[in-house]
Structure 1
C-alpha cells in the first residue's frame, strides 16, 4: 500500500472548515435548511454543550461534528447538530447514533434539535437517513437529512467551477478516494485544485484554509510533494501573491509534522521521520563535523529502521563509516 493510501486522513481538516465556513457548508450541502436561517444574525458554536453529550472522541470514532445556535428568518432560535461521518466506512450503528445524539441533546436542553449528516464513505449502497423503534403499539420514527459525498462523483467538472469552498473540498475528497493507489494521478489532481484556489477571488485567509484541507487530504510521496511545492511557487510568482508560500504555510506544515511525530497517524509519519533525521544529523555533525551531501541524502532517504540502527551505532562508532556500515 502506498504512503498516500495508508495515511489519508479527513477528520481534522473537515472540523476546521466546518467551523470556519459554516454558512457556506449549509448552503452547499443543505440548501433548504440554509434558506430558512437568517444569516445576518450571529450563529454560535455550542461546543461545550455538545461535548457533554457526544463521547465518540473517546471511543475512537472519526467524526467532525458541531452544535450551532442559529436564528431562523421568523425570528425563532434553533439549534442545529451537524454530524460529518468521516471514518470512510460503512457503520451499521450510524442511524442509531444519530438518534441517540438527538434525544440526548433534547433530554438535556429541552429543545428540538435539527440533526444533519454528511457521509464521506465509499459504499454507494449505504445512505442511512432514519431510525425507527416500535414495541407493543408504541413507535418512534426519526428522520434526518443526509448528504453523501459519493453522490457528487458525476459532477466533478461543476464542483471545480463552483465558488462555494465546499465544492472544492468535495472534489478533493473524491479525487483522494479515486487515487488511493495512484500517487501520480493524485499529484495531477492536487495540482489542478491548487491552481483553482486562485481563480475564485477568495481572500488570503480563505485560500490558506482551503489549501490546508487539500494538502492534508491529498497526501503525496515526498518527491511529488517537492514537485508540487515548486509548482505552487511558480503559480504565486505569476500572480504576485505569496499566500501559500508564506510563513503561515510553513507553520501549518510544521504543525502537521509535530502532530504526526506524537503518533496521531499510523505508520512512518513523515513528520516523525523528518524529526528523527534532523536529530541524527545534528548529533553526527556535533561528533564528526559537517556532513557531506552524500551523507545528508542518505539520511533523508532512510527508513525508520535504518535511522534507529544508525542512532544506536553513533554511541560507539569511531567514524561516519562505522555508523553507516550495514554489512
Structure 2
C-alpha cells in the first residue's frame, strides 16, 4: 500500500535531509555538520502552538559551524493555500524560541510549498510604527512549482529525482519529465539501497499522473537502452501496481516488434547505436534491425 502524501513527504525529508539542504540552500549547507544530527521525538512537539494542539512536521538538532554549537531547524511542508501560514510559522518559531532559547542560539524555519499553483507565497511577518521596526520575521522557503525541472536532470540528488514532477514544466514537457525521472532513478540505483530507492519512487509516484500508453513507450525505450535495468525499474514502481497495468507493460516488452517499437529502434540507430548493439538489446536478428536503417 502506498504511503499517504504527508507521511511520504516527511519520510523523504527525514531520510534525505542533507540532500534537501544541498539542493535548495547551498550556503546553509556549507555551515552544517551533518555528522551530528538528531531528529527530535514527535511527542515532544505536541501542543507546542497552544490551543491548536498541532504537531510540527519536522524538527531537528544539528551542529552549526559558525556558532560552534547546536541549532534547531524546523521544516514545514505546505500543500494548500493558507493566507495565515506566515503567521503560523511565526507562532511555531516563537514557541520554539521560548522553549529552547537557553540551549540553542539559532532556530532556522524552512517552509516547503508543494501546491500545483504558481504564486508568490508570503514568507514575512512585520510590525512597524513610523521610524521604528518592532518586528521582522522571515522564514526560508522553497516553492517547488517555481523551480525549472531542467535544472535538476543532471543531478544525482535523490530529492531532485523524487520531486521532479512537482517542479515547473508545461503540459507538452510532461513526458520528458517522466522519462528524465526514470533516467535519474537508474543513476541513483548505483549508490542507494533498495529501501531508499523505493522511497524515492513512492514519493515521485504521488505526483506523476498515470498514463498507461506513455509509460509503456518509455519503459520500452529504457529497456532497449538499458536492458539490464528495465525489469528492476518495474519492480520498484509502486504506482504501476496501484494503477493495475504492470502486467500489461511486461507483456508489451516481451512481444517482438510491436506498434511503435520499430520507430524506437530507428531512433537508437540515429543516435549512434550500432545494429549489433540494438540487436543484442532487443533480441532480434541483426538482419531485421538493418532493414530499418
TM over 0.5: yes
Within a 5 Å distance, the mapping from 1:163-202 to structure 2 comes to: 163-174=156-167, 178-179=170-171, 186-200=174-188, 201-202=190-191
**Structure holding more helix per residue:** 1
> Secondary structure of 1:191's partner?
helix
Structure with more contact order per residue of length (Cα contacts < 8 Å, sep ≥ 6): 1
1:84 to 54, 71, 77: 77
Q: Which residue of 1 aligns with 2:23?
A: 28
With over 3 angstroms needed to count, the CA separation of the structure-2 counterparts of 1:49 and 1:68, relative to structure 1, is same
With over 3 angstroms needed to count, the CA separation of the structure-2 counterparts of 1:29 and 1:51, relative to structure 1, is farther
1:212 to 186, 192, 202: 202
1:108 to 99, 118, 136: 99
For the 8 Å contact 1:207–1:243, the answer to whether it is kept is: no
1:96, CA displacement in angstroms? 0.7
How many Å separate the matches in 1 of 2:162 and 2:51? Answer: 24
1:81, CA displacement in angstroms? 0.5
With over 3 angstroms needed to count, the CA separation of the structure-2 counterparts of 1:213 and 1:123, relative to structure 1, is closer
1:250-286 CA-to-partner distances (Å, cap 9, x unmatched) read: 7x569x96xxxxxxxxxxxx69xxxxxxxxxxxxxxx
Q: Which residue of 1 aligns with 2:87?
A: 96
Runs of at least 5 residues in structure 2 that lack an aligned partner in the other structure: 245-293
> Secondary structure of 2:122's partner?
coil
Question: Is structure 2 residue 139 aligned with structure 1 residue 148?
Answer: no
1:117, CA displacement in angstroms? 1.7
Question: Is structure 2 residue 231 aligned with structure 1 residue 239?
Answer: no
TM-score (norm 2): 0.64
> Secondary structure of 1:52's partner?
coil
1:114-147 CA-to-partner distances (Å, cap 9, x unmatched) read: 1112223355441322101347978222122222
Of 125-134 and 19-28, more deviation after overlay is shown by 125-134
1:164-215 CA-to-partner distances (Å, cap 9, x unmatched) read: 222223422126x744xx8xx6455323311221124332333322111111
TM-score (norm 1): 0.59
How many Å separate the matches in 2 of 1:27 and 1:164? Answer: 9
> Secondary structure of 1:53's partner?
coil
For the 8 Å contact 1:159–1:170, the answer to whether it is kept is: no
With over 3 angstroms needed to count, the CA separation of the structure-2 counterparts of 1:232 and 1:69, relative to structure 1, is farther
> Secondary structure of 2:145's partner?
helix
How many Å separate the matches in 2 of 1:35 and 1:69? Answer: 16
Within a 5 Å distance, the mapping from 1:1-327 to structure 2 comes to: 11-53=6-48, 65-73=57-65, 74-87=67-80, 89=81, 91-110=82-101, 111=104, 112-134=106-128, 139-153=134-148, 156-174=149-167, 178-179=170-171, 186-200=174-188, 201-205=190-194, 206-221=196-211, 223-224=212-213, 227=216, 231=220, 234=223, 238-240=227-229, 243-246=232-235, 249=236, 252=238
How many Å separate the matches in 1 of 2:10 and 2:51? Answer: 14
> Aligned-pair RMSD on alpha carbons?
3.8
